[in-house]
């Protein structure tokens, strides 16, 4: 179900679809009792101060109407930092508040947010102060998951994990998460949080056909032993794993327009050949390249949820079509491995 953008979206008229739970699939996050949808909506790129509020609402409504209950944010998402939380907080206040108990809302702290030594990294002071700021921007009393956004070698891991445990103990978060943690530090973080009786449920990491570092790091096995789930971001490699670049660089593409996350140098002839070869497999499967790239991440059951970003509601409805098609034949997997090997 796609939501059309209408003037009414600036008013309090949203009613969620009564069919919102009919097709989405959910999985437990690690050994916890928390279930996450197969696809979650990330608010990284398209919820900043220059974004259209009617479009942001349409994205959220389309996601929720299709069973996407998890909305993922961070303190520094925007631009500018903080604006994604502010905008989503407005949507929560005007439209989604009646559905709060059906939503999983997560935020993070770990990157620079304000000047000086206390606005970055992983200290107890920074993490707990940032969470308070996030709750104000979101108009919430608590978030469902609070993450430490990145490993910080300058701060004792015990201090960062202690701050997450304090956030949960205070009632400002229900669960603790980590993001961008490798296998070794995931195991250490899990042990510390277990000792603090803190519910640790998830590690959020980058993973795609073009970035298979977590396989080389054996993170899937580490997460299984630690009892936590894995949620992945950038599953489409910033748009490379879509049909946008099959014939080159479109004038309105991310590479051509901004160059902030993708550069022309990223689209080498070798990479373009990989994209086209993967697209051929997707077509044989009856999928778009983007759909197959998402399905591939969920192929073995080790990943709890995949974060998708969207600039249009239609992108959400297209991606959700993968729900019934995440299985691959051995031949397909072998061909994909030849095209995009884990060693890259």
Lowest mean pLDDT among 54-63, 81-90, 255-264: 255-264
The per-residue pLDDT for 251 is 56
| Residue 19 falls inside a structural domain | no
Q: SS3 for the chain, per residue?
A: CCCCCCHHHHCCCCCCCCCCCCCCCEEECCCCCCEEECEEEECCCCCCCCCCHHHHHHHHHHHHHCCCCEEECCCCCCCCCCHHHHHHHHHHHHHHHHHHHHCEEEEEECCCCCCCCCCCCCCHHHHHHHHHHHHHHHCCCCEEEEEECCCCCCCCHHHHHHHHHHHHHCCCEEEEEEECCCHHHHHHHHHHHHHCCCCEEEEEEECECCECHHHHCCHHHHHHHHCCEEEEECCCHHHCCCHHHCCCCCCCCHHHHCCCCCCHHHCCHHHHHHHHHHHHHHHHCCCCHHHHHHHHHCCCCCCCEEEECCCCHHHHHHHHHHHHCCCCCHHHHHHHHHHCCCCC
| Residue 16 falls inside a structural domain | no
The per-residue pLDDT for 247 is 79
> Which domain CATH number covers 151?
3.20.20.100
| Residue 247 falls inside a structural domain | no
Burial string for 274-298 (b: 16+ CB within 10 Å, else e) reads bbeebbebbeebebbbbbbbbbbbb
| Residue 252 falls inside a structural domain | no
The per-residue pLDDT for 10 is 45
The per-residue pLDDT for 344 is 54
Where residue 261 falls among pLDDT bands split at 50, 70, 90? Answer: low
pLDDT at 3 exceeding the cut of 90: no
| Residue 344 falls inside a structural domain | no
Q: Is the torsion defined by CA of 22, 142, 226, 216 positive or negative?
A: positive
pLDDT at 140 exceeding the cut of 90: yes
| Residue 339 falls inside a structural domain | no
The per-residue pLDDT for 1 is 65
To the nearest 10°, the Cα dihedral for 309, 313, 316, 318? -130
- The average confidence (pLDDT) of the chain is 93
pLDDT at 41 exceeding the cut of 50: yes
pLDDT at 7 exceeding the cut of 50: no
Query: 341: which 2 tokens?
Result: 């090997």
What are the tens digits of pLDDT across the range 43-66?
A: 998 999 999 999 999 999 999 999
pLDDT at 336 exceeding the cut of 60: yes
Instruction: Tell me how many domains the chain contains.
Output: 1
Q: Please state the rounded mean pLDDT for residues 77-89.
A: 97
Provide the residue range defining the domain that includes 102.
Answer: 26-238+287-326
The per-residue pLDDT for 94 is 96
The C-alpha atoms of residue 164 and residue 168 are separated, in whole angstroms, by: 6
Q: Please state the rounded mean pLDDT for residues 325-335.
A: 98
| Residue 1 falls inside a structural domain | no
Q: Is the torsion defined by CA of 30, 32, 33, 36 positive or negative?
A: negative
- Cα 208 to its chain centre, rounded Å, is 12
Q: Please state the rounded mean pLDDT for residues 28-41.
A: 98
With a pLDDT cut of 90, the percent of the chain lying above it is: 87
Where residue 153 falls among pLDDT bands split at 50, 70, 90? Answer: very high
Angle (deg, nearest 10), helices 83-91 and 53-65: 60
What are the tens digits of pLDDT across the range 202-234?
A: 999 999 999 999 999 999 999 999 999 999 999
Where residue 4 falls among pLDDT bands split at 50, 70, 90? Answer: low
**Residue predicted with more confidence, 332 or 252:** 332
The per-residue pLDDT for 245 is 86
pLDDT at 259 exceeding the cut of 90: no
Q: Please state the rounded mean pLDDT for residues 118-131.
A: 98
Query: 308: which 2 tokens?
Result: 């998708």
The C-alpha atoms of residue 267 and residue 191 are separated, in whole angstroms, by: 41
pLDDT at 149 exceeding the cut of 80: yes
pLDDT at 25 exceeding the cut of 90: yes
The per-residue pLDDT for 9 is 46
């Amino acid at each position: 179900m796609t939501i059309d953008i209408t003037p009414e979206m600036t008013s309090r008229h949203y009613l969620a679809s009564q069919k919102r739970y009919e097709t989405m699939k959910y999985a437990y996050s690690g050994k916890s009792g928390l279930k996450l949808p197969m696809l979650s909506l990330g608010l990284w790129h398209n919820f900043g101060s220059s974004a259209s509020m009617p479009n942001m609402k349409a994205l959220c409504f389309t996601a929720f109407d299709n069973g996407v209950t998890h909305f993922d944010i961070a303190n520094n998402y925007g631009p500018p930092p903080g604006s994604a939380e502010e905008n989503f907080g407005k949507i929560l206040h005007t439209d989604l508040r009646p559905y709060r108990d059906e939503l999983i809302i997560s935020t993070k702290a770990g990157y620079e947010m304000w000047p000086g030594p206390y606005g970055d990294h992983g200290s107890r002071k920074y993490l707990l102060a940032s969470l308070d700021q996030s709750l104000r921007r979101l108009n919430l009393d608590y978030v469902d998951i609070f993450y430490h956004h990145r490993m910080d070698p300058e701060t004792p891991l015990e201090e960062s994990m202690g701050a997450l445990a304090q956030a949960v103990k205070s009632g400002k978060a229900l669960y603790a998460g980590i993001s961008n943690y490798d296998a070794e530090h995931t195991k250490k973080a899990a042990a510390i949080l277990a000792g603090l009786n803190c519910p640790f449920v998830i590690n959020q990491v980058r993973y795609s056909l073009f970035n298979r570092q977590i396989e080389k790091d054996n993170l899937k096995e580490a997460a299984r032993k630690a009892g936590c789930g894995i949620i992945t971001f950038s599953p489409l490699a910033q748009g490379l794993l879509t049909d946008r670049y099959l014939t080159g660089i479109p004038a309105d593409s991310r590479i051509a327009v901004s160059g902030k996350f993708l550069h022309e140098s990223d689209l080498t002839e070798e990479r373009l050949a990989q994209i086209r070869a993967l697209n051929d497999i997707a077509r044989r499967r009856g999928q778009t390249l983007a759909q197959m790239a998402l399905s591939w991440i969920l192929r073995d059951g080790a990943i709890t949820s995949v974060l998708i970003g969207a600039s249009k509601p239609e992108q959400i409805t297209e991606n959700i079509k993968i729900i019934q098609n995440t299985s691959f034949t051995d031949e397909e997997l072998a061909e994909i491995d030849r095209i995009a090997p884990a060693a890259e």
